[in-house]
Structure 1
Amino acid sequence: MSLISYDDVVAAREITSGVLRETPLEMSRALEQRVGGPVYLKCENLQRAGSFKIRGAFVRLSRLSEAERNRGVVAASAGNHAQGVALAAQILGIEAMVFMPVTAPLPKLAATKGYGAQVRQVGADLGGALIAAQEYAEQTGAVFIHPFDHPDLIAGQGTCGLEILEQCPDVRTIVVATGGGGLLSGIAAAVRPQRPDVRIIGVQAAGAAAFPPSLQAGHPVSLERMATMADGIAVPRPAEITFEHVSGLVDDIITVTEDDISRALLFAIERAKLVIEPAGAAAIAGVLADPPAFEPPVVAVISGGNIDPLLLMRVMQHGMVAAGRYLSLRCAVPDQPGSLATLVSFIAQRGANVIDVEHSRLSSRLSLGDVEIELRLETKGAEHAAQIVEALRAAGYGVVCEPTV
C-alpha cells in the first residue's frame, strides 16, 4: 500500500482553494508557561462546518466522476464527518444521505440537515450507523464516503499540515487528536517529507484507543468496547491505510484520561477563550498532562468545536472537579443555633462559595449533641481547597473530605 505523498497533499490544496478557510494559529501563553517555549493552537474548530472534516470530504467528493455524482453519496458519522460531507455535497450539488446514531448530539444533527443532507438515525453508536450506510450504498448505488479510509480523505486532511508549516516554520512538535487516524495521517504525509526533524504525536482517549494495541500487534486491531466523552475520536479500529501512515510516519501515540480531556476543555474556555468539543480538546489534554514531553515550538491541533451545550455544561463541571475546583466535606458541629451560620461564615471568609448544604442528626459517627454538616464548595483550585481544609482543622473542626462527583 503506497502512502500519500507531499505532492498529493499539495494537489488536494489546489482543489480546496477558495472553499476552505485557512484556520488561525493562536499563541497560548498559558501553555507556553508550562512547556517552557512557544505553544500554538491550530483552530480547526473555526473551519467551515466546525471541524477539519470538510478538508477531506471536499477533496473526496470533488474527485467523483459525473456518474458517481449522479448516484449521490452516503456517509455515517456521529457528527463532524456528517457535517463535512453534507456541506461538501451542497457546494458541489450532490445529493447526500447521512446515517447518524440515535445518540448523535442535536446541534450536529441539526447542522447536517441544515447543509441539505437527508439524515436517518440508526443504532446506538457509530458501528450501527456504518452498517446501515453501507447497506444503503449497496441497495441504491450511492457512493459510500468513509470517515477516514480513503487516500483522497487523507490528502485533504493533510492540507492542515501545509498550513502549519507555513504559519509556524520553526515548529518542532505537532500534536494531533486521533480517532481513525485520517487527520494524523494527512498531517504526517504533509510534514514528514519537508521537515523530518518535526516530532508528530497522536493523542487518543484512553477509553477508545485502538492505535496502541494495533501498533503493538503490527496490524489494525478492533476494540471490544469504547467509553469516552470524546465521541469524535471514538473509533474502534484503524483502517489499513491510516495504520500504514501512522506506523510509518508518526513518532508516538499517547492516551489521555477523561479527567485530562475535561481539564483541557475547561482550560480552552477559560484561558484560550475557545469553545471546543471533547475530541477537539485531546491535543491540549496531551500537552497539559505532561508538558515537559513536548519540545517547543509546539502546535496542538484543535480538531473541532461542535459541542452540544448540555454536554458542554456537564464536561465543564467534570473539568472543574478534575481541576480541584469543587470540594466536598463533612464535619460535626454542636447541635445548637448559630453553629451552621458560624461554619458557613468561616468558609466564606476564606474565599470559597458554598453550593450545597445538608445536615444529619442520625449518623452513627456523631457524638450526642452534635449534628453532621455536609458541604459542597466551589474553590479556586486544589491548593485553595487544601488551605480551607487546613484552616477548618486548625479551628477545631473535625473535617472528612469526600470524593466529589
Structure 2
Amino acid sequence: MDQRIGTRARAQWEKSEPVIRTLEACEDVLWLNPAYGQQTASFVSADDVADAEARLRRFAPYLVKAFPETRGSEGMIESPIYALPSFQKWLEQQEKMKAPGTFLMKADSELPISGSIKARGGIYEVLKTAEDLAIRTGRLSKNENYACLADPGFRAFFANYALAVGSTGNLGLSIGIVGARLGFQTTVHMSRDASAWKKRMLRKQGAQVKEYESDYSKAVQEGRKQARQDPHCHFIDDERSKDLFAGYATAGARLQRQLRESGVVVNGDHPLFVYLPCGVGGAPGGVTFGLKLVFGDAVHVFFVEPAHAPCFLLGLLTGLHDKVSVCDFGLDNRTVADGLAVPRPSAFAGKAVGSLISGCMTVKDSDLFRILKALKDTENHWIEPSAAAGFIGPKRLLGTKEGKRYLERHNLADKMDQAVHVFWATGGGMVPQKNRNAYYDQASRI
C-alpha cells in the first residue's frame, strides 16, 4: 500500500505536483510560490522587530566588554556588504549567460562572535533571556549601562539558570559561545551532521555538547524534552521561536542603511533579488520578514536548499509544513551543507513568510563546492559550503523558463539591467583553516 503523506498517497502528490518527481531525482529546481503576495499570518510585528533592535543597542556596551572583537562596530553585531564584479564575470563565462545588474554579498559569514547568520537571532535570544531574568529579579533596569552584565556577580547569578538548543552547528555556536560567556549552564544538542570542529569549539567555550546519531529533528526533539524537565532551563527553539525570528528580522533595516550608504537604489524600477540558504527556515524567514518591512514589493526573496534536503519547499508545496519530511519522498537528507541538512521545516516560519517568498530553488553539493572555490578565486572571500547555496540564484532566475516566467509576471524583464542581486553568505567565519583547505581541495577535484 502506498504511504500516506498528509491526506494523500505519495503517488497522488507526484501526479498533482509534477515538480515532486524532479525533487525526488535530486535535479535542479526553481519552484515559484503560488501563494506569493497573499495575506500572511502575523506572528511577528514591526514593533517586535523595533523592540529587538532597541534591545541589541542596550546590550552593545556589554558586547564590547565581553567580546572585544565587537569594539570596532561599537557592540553592534553586523556584517559588511561586498561588490562581486569578478564573480559576476565568472558566472557569465561559466554558465554562458548574461547576468545583468549589480552583484553584492551580504557577508554574515563575518558576523562577530560566531561567524554566521545565526549570530543575529541566536545571540539576540540569549541576550533577551538574560535581560528578562535580570530585570525580573531586580538586578537590572533598562536605563543602566549593560556592561555591568559582564561582572562576576552577574555570571554567578546566571549560573543558576540553563540554556539549551538543538542544532546542526551554527545556531549552537552562537548560543553556546554567548550563553557560556554570560555564565549560563549551556547545552547544545547536535545531530550527526554537525561538524566535529564545531563540537570541539563549543566544549572549549564551556558549553556542554550532547551528540545524536540521528538527524537535526531528533536533536531538537531531545533538547526540547530534556529542557522541559528543568524549570530553570530556557530552550531556544529554532523551529518555533518568535524571539529568534525577530532577531533575524533586524537585518532588513540594516541592509537598507548599508545599500543607501553605498549609493545603491532599490525601488520598483531597481528591483532587489535576495537569495537565502535555507535549512529549517527560521533564519531566512526572519530576514525575509525584515526585508519586506523596509523594501515591500521591490524585494524578491528566494530560498535555496540542498537537492537532498528541500524541506521548506516541500512544506510550502504540500501545505503540510512540519508534518512532511524529505524522507517521505525518498530523499536522504544527506548533504555537505551541514547547516541545511534538515528533514522537516519550521511550521512557524512557513506560516509566517509562506506568502512573502517568491519561490524556492535547489542546489547540488557539487555546485556548492564550485561556487565556494570560485568566490575564493575571484573575490578572495571565504564561505562554508552551506553559505554558497544562494549564489546559484541568478542561474535559476535568468536561465530557466520558470525564472523568466516570474520576471514576466511581475513586469521585471525590462528592469534587470538596474537590478541588484544580494547573496546572503550565511556562514564560514569560524571554520578552521585546516577545514577550509580541505573544502578547497575537494572543490578543486570537481
Q: TM-score, normalised by structure 2?
A: 0.66
1:102/1:174 CA distance change after superposition, 3 Å: closer
Change over 3 Å in CA distance of 1:3–1:109 after alignment to 2: same
Give the aligned partner of residue 58 of structure 1: 123
How far, CA to CA, are the matches of 2:47 and 2:379 in structure 1? 34
Aligned residue type for 2:221: I
Q: Structure 2 matches for 1:288-367, cutoff 5 A?
A: 295=416, 296-305=419-428, 306-307=430-431, 312-322=436-446
Deviation at 1:308, TM superposition (A): 5.8
* Structure-2 change in CA distance of 1:15 and 1:41 (3 Å): same
**CA displacement 1:290-347 (0-9 Å, x = unmatched):** 556594211111000044656544543443344xxxxxxxxxxxxxxxxxxxxxxxxx
After TM superposition, give the deviation of residue 88 of structure 1 in Å: 2.8
Paired position in structure 1 for 2:368: 261
- Structure 2 unaligned blocks of 5 or more: 1-40, 64-75, 93-98, 138-157, 267-271, 408-415
Q: Does 1:9 align with 2:109?
A: no
In the aligned structure 2, how far is the partner of 1:241 from the partner of 1:200? Answer: 18
- Write the distance in 1 (CA, Å) between the matches of 2:179 and 2:196: 21
Letter in 2 for 1:25: I
Measure how far apart 1:174 and its partner are: 1.2
Distance across 2 between alignment mates of 1:287 and 1:192: 20
Tell me how far apart the structure 1 counterparts of residues 280 and 289 of structure 2 sit (CA, whole Å).
Answer: 15
**Please, which of 307, 320, 329 is the counterpart of residue 206 of structure 1?**
307
Aligned with 1:216 (options 317, 320, 327) = 317
CA distance in 2, matches of 1:251, 1:127: 26
The structure with more helix, counted as a fraction of residues: 2
Aligned-pair identity (%): 25
How far apart are 1:146 and its partner, in Å? 1.5
Deviation at 1:143, TM superposition (A): 1.7
Query: Deviation of residue 72 (structure 1)?
Result: 0.9
Is the 8 Å Cα contact of residues 77 and 119 (structure 2) preserved in structure 1? no
Higher relative contact order (CA 8 A, sep 6+): 2
Matched residue type, 1:217: T
Q: Which moved more, 1:118-127 or 1:63-72?
A: 63-72
Q: Counterpart in 2 of 1:282?
A: 389
Assess, with a 3 A threshold, how the Cα gap between structure 1 residues 102 and 298 changes in structure 2: closer, same or farther.
closer
Do the aligned partners of 1:202 and 1:252 also contact (CA within 8 Å) in 2? yes
Q: Distance in 1 between matches of 2:221 and 2:286?
A: 25
Give the equivalent residue in structure 1 for 2:350.
Answer: 243
Counting only pairs closer than 5 Å after superposition, residues 87-166 of structure 1 correspond to structure 2 as 87-102=177-192, 104-141=194-231, 142-166=233-257
Q: Does the Cα contact within 8 Å between 1:184 and 1:246 map onto a contact in 2?
A: no
Determine helix, strand or coil for the equivalent of 2:304: strand
Aligned equivalents of 1:320 and 1:25: distance in 2? 27
1:176 lines up with 2:276 in the alignment = yes
Opposite residue 299 of structure 2, the aligned amino acid is V
Where does residue 145 of structure 2 map in the other structure?
none
Matched, 1:38 2:75: no
CA gap of 1:288–1:307, structure 2 versus 1, over 3 A, is: farther
- Tell me if structure 2 keeps the 8 A contact 1:256–1:286: no
Distance in 1 between residues matched to 2:215 and 2:43, nearest whole Å = 30
Is the Cα contact below 8 Å between 1:25 and 1:41 reproduced in 2?
A: yes
Partner of 2:33: none
Matches within 5 A, 1:379-390: none
Give the 3 Å change call, closer, same or farther, for CA 148–23 of structure 1 in structure 2: farther
Q: Is the contact made by 1:78 and 1:100 (CA closer than 8 Å) also made in structure 2? A: yes
TM superposition shift of 1:201? 1.1
- Distance in 2, Cα, partners of 1:291 & 1:274: 24
Deviation at 1:285, TM superposition (A): 3.0
Greater C-alpha Rg: 1
1:27 aligns with 2:83: yes
Q: Conserved in 1, the CA contact under 8 Å of 2:55 and 2:128?
A: no
Q: Distance in 2 between matches of 1:235 and 1:267?
A: 26
Q: Find the aligned partners of 2:191 and 2:52 in 1 and give their Cα distance.
A: 30
Specify whether residues 285 and 98 from structure 1 end up closer, same or farther in structure 2 by C-alpha distance, changes over 3 A only: same
Structure 2: distance between partners of 1:28 and 1:148 = 33
SS state of the match for residue 422, structure 2? strand
User: What is the Cα deviation at residue 30 of structure 1?
Assistant: 2.1
Please report the RMSD computed on the Cα atoms of aligned residues, expressed in angstroms.
Answer: 2.4
On the 8 A contact 2:187/2:208 being kept in 1, the answer is yes
More strand by share: 1
In 1, Cα distance between equivalents of 2:288 and 2:46: 9
| SS across alignment from 2:43 | coil
Moved more, 116-125 or 76-85: 116-125
Compared CA separation, residues 276 and 317, structure 1 to 2 (3 A): same
SS where residue 287 of structure 2 aligns? helix
- After superposition, give the CA deviation of every residue in 1:256-283 in whole Å (9 maximum; x if it has no partner): 1112111111112112212211111111
Partner residue, 1:401: none
1:365 corresponds in structure 2 to none
Matched to 1:194, the amino acid is: V
- What residue ranges of structure 1 are gaps of 5+ in the alignment? 323-405
Tell me how far 1:76 sits from its aligned partner: 1.6
Contact 1:266 1:320 in 2 (8 A): yes
TM-score (norm 1): 0.73
- Structure 2 residue 313 is the aligned partner of structure 1 residue 273: no
Equivalent residues of 2:302, 2:358 under 8 A apart? yes
